[in-house]
Amino acid sequence: MTPEKLIETVFPPMLASLVAAPPADESGWLLELKYDGFRALAGLAGGRVALWSRNRLDLAGRFAQVAGALAELDVGDAVLDGEICAFDTRGRSRFQLLQEGAGAGLVYVVFDLLWLDGADLRARPLEERRERLERLLADAPNGLALSKRVAGPAARALAEAARRGEEGLILKARGSRYEGKRAKTWLKLKALLNQEVAIVGYELLDGATDQIGSLVVAVAEGRKLRFAGKVGTGFSTAVRRELLAKLAPDRVDEAPVVDPPKLRDAIWVEPRLVAQVRFTEWTRDDKLRHPSFQGLRADKAPLDCVRERPSEASE
């Protein structure tokens, strides 16, 4: 079987449910660090490697260093689930660094093993999959790493993650199987707020004609987009120019959002690109407060940009 067919066999990847607080009883949960990168399934077969995003985008060419490290694993065939990350000088994963081409620092952080040597492991308990993954990665080459387990209680671990500037935590139910959907047996607690947004327009930088000054962004509601604010920070001069070059050909006459705001200097575009932003909170009128650009997400479509709303862990 080809590595692409292997991934297709276990597709789609499992997704975690965002919650506002950890479960009341944490005895049935294991905690892992949450990483800020590109989610990717890796298929290995016959010495070949396939690397897919969660919308089937081929990532092997873009992240050739990761694909090369995976090819060095001593395994017959396997499917791994993990996050392609770039780390800053303090050891924190940063999506923005992926956009800046941090090639030497790329690491595929693996957190699950779905297939190994002809066996589908998705129905096996979480602990067994983790144990097999640990053995597989015991002598892993540079560029591959096992996701970090952290000690509870979750509230204290989340506070420590926030202090360090980490993304947050993932809580996984003991004994749980791997499900190809968003499930309540994987929970995510965010220490930092991030949101994927559709780019629906831009404003030029004051006094410049070759750079964007801010992005106009939106989130999806069903099959429509709703204005979510403007993003004016987080850009280098080079990125401001690159974004203008990408967006200018998509210019349209009318705002592609419901209830468009009155923005005198806005130039509207056909929604095609997705950005990841970091922000402090949602305002009462459903706008992003103090958003900062982190990078473009080629693995997401505009209508995938649904506002994440935390639920109760027990729901």
Q: Per residue, what are the HEC states of the chain? A: CCHHHHHHHHCCCCEEEEECCCCCCCCCEEEEEECCCEEEEEEEECCEEEEECCCCCECCCCCHHHHHHHHCCCCCEEEEEEEEEEECCCCCECHHHHHCCCHHHEEEEEEEEEEECCEECCCCCHHHHHHHHHHHCCCCCCCEEECCEECCCHHHHHHHHHHHCCCEEEEEECCCCCCCCEEEEEEEEECCEEEEEEEEEEEECCCCCCCEEEEEEEEEECCEEEEEEEECECCCHHHHHHHHHHHHHHECCCCCCECCCCCCCCEEECCCCEEEEEECEECCCCCEECCEEEEECCCCCHHHCECCCCECCCC
Q: Residues 34, 188, 230, 300: which is the catalytic one?
A: 34
Query: Does the annotation mark 5 as catalytic?
Result: no
Catalytic residue set: 34
